[in-house]
Structure 1
Amino acid sequence: MSTLPTLVLVHGAWHGTWCWQPLIDQLPDLDIRTVALPSSGQDPAVLGDLYDDAEAVANAVAAVGGPTVLVGHSYGGSPLTEAAATAGDVRRVIYLSALMQDVGDSVLSLVDGVYPPFWDVHEEPQGRTDHAYFEAVHALDALYGDVEPHLAQQSVARLGRQSLASVTQQLTQAAWRTVPSTYILCEQDMAIPLPLQEAMAARAQRTVRLRSGHSPFLSQPLELARILRQELALQLPEPQSAPA
């Protein structure tokens, strides 16, 4: 009997694996792995870059050692795109209001190199060993507008810093060119506007619409779980006909 692929979840900027827990709670029967991206954290001196993140994604896929479906949220779409084409047995890449870009693109190339208004950028850090980084401001509105207020406040308190290198470095490969892809559009997203999502989603084989803000794993974990189950089911082999 066939089993569903392992689900590997890749968080976005400033976040950690903690953000996925409400979604994971809705999928107790699945094998789920989470990736902690080195570019996100509290200490600017140790933050990684895009390629470190891609290596972390590739290592997570290798650890599965079998059929895998990758989900990237927001910035997490970038290391997913960089890693998934050559990471192993990746059956599908799912972009959850995520960056779905091409070779040569960077996060900042989407906005013509202009920092978004909800980024607080530190280009000249205080310590000599610190890396340039940015923090989220107005996060309640931009990231968690439709999240239950207490959970939203808890999430804001857990946000870290994000390395500037992770959003300036260019992709060297694009997994969606060779791996089946799905884009989940978050229609009320205040961080990645819907028209920008739709432009990127034009590259995907499948699109799904979700009436949510930027973080449906917190605001609508049950509905997001339902969508992901459907996407995982696409990876099951066709049933074999019984011999005559």
Structure 2
Amino acid sequence: MTFILVPGAWHLPSSFDLLRGGLDALGHASIAVKLPTTGPEPRGGLAEDAAAIRAAIDAVSGPVHVMAHSYGGIPATQAADGVAHLIYLAAYVPDVGESMFTIHGLPDPESAEGLFPIGDDPRAQLYADVPEAVADQAIARLVEQRVQPWVDRVSAAAWQSVPSTYIVTTNDASLPVELQEKMATRAGTVRRIPTSHSPFLSRPAELAALLDAIVTG
């Protein structure tokens, strides 16, 4: 089996390096996807991100399990039809016609052509429980993120037709736990891990073991 790993906003595939090491130790192959709307040189919108995920899925022979983090849940929802399992890690779970903006109850911006700022304190927001040296490296690797895919609305919802699990990060300072719990009701099963928004950096071995348990039953 192979895990397709979908990063969230501002994050490159390298953010999953520690998790991929944990999965490899458990005998699981993995591929981390580069989303086009995430820099450097970000481009496109939801359609382009979903196409990148779909291309990674289609390139694998055998069972595919998709794990999407944070914003990555939106294009994964659009793209992951037919996979063996879809796992949302502190991620958005849109229904057809929804976007990140609508999930938060926000009106669409006048223009979606710009970039969305990372925030003043990514360490507190994203990496509160991540070891200092690892967090420093993660912050240095953050890149630009387009607004467009946050405004685009999904036209397909894979969680309606494939087995799905939501992993709630119960000490999250980025995606409110209350909102996670609400979105988790759309998944088939719910698991919880007592971490901040980025357990792939704070507890990669524990997260790998949890993913293994989810897909092996």
- Structure 1 residue aligned with 2:10: 14
Task: State the match for 1:59 in structure 2.
Answer: 55
Contact 1:14–1:135 (CA<8 Å) still a contact in 2?
no
Superposed CA RMSD: 1.6
- Which runs of no fewer than 5 residues in structure 1 stay unpaired? 116-120, 125-130, 235-244
- Structure 2 vs 1, CA of residues 114 and 152 (structure 1 numbering), >3 Å: closer, same or farther? farther
Matches within 5 A, 1:22-37: 22-28=18-24, 29-37=27-35
Instruction: Choose from 152, 156, 179 the match for 2:139.
Output: 156
Determine whether 1:133 maps to 2:115: yes
2:92 is equivalent to residue 105 of structure 1: no
The superposition leaves residues 104-153 of structure 1 with CA deviations (integer Å, 9 ceiling, x where unpaired) of 000111222279xxxxx9x69xxxxxx41112112111111111112111
Query: Does structure 1 residue 38 correspond to structure 2 residue 36?
Result: yes
Q: Equivalents in 2 of 1:223, 1:161: separation in Å?
A: 29
Q: Distance in 2 between matches of 1:14 and 1:47?
A: 13
The structure with the larger Rg is: 1
Alignment of 1:1-244 (within 5 A): 5-28=1-24, 29-43=27-41, 46-85=42-81, 89-113=82-106, 131-137=113-119, 138-234=121-217
What is the CA-CA distance between 1:193 and the residue it aligns to?
0.8
Unaligned residue ranges in structure 2 (runs of 5+): none
**Corresponding residue for 1:241?**
none
Q: Which amino acid aligns with 1:147?
A: V
Secondary structure of the 1:26 match is: helix
CA distance in 2, matches of 1:66, 1:26: 20
Aligned-pair CA distance for 1:99: 0.3
Sequence identity percentage: 38
**Which one-letter code corresponds to 1:132 in the other structure?**
G
Report the residue type matching 1:50 in the other structure: L
TM-score (norm 2): 0.94
SS in 2 for 1:40: coil
Give the 3-state SS of the residue equivalent to 1:173 in structure 2.
Answer: coil
1:57 is paired with a residue whose SS is: helix
SS where residue 55 of structure 1 aligns? Answer: helix
Aligned pairs, number = 213
Runs of 4+ in 1 over 6 A off after TM superposition: none
**CA distance in 2: counterparts of 1:30 and 1:74, whole angstroms:** 22
Question: What TM-score does the superposition give when structure 1 sets the normalisation length?
Answer: 0.84
Structure with the higher fraction of residues in strand conformation: 1
Q: Secondary structure at the residue paired with 2:145? A: strand
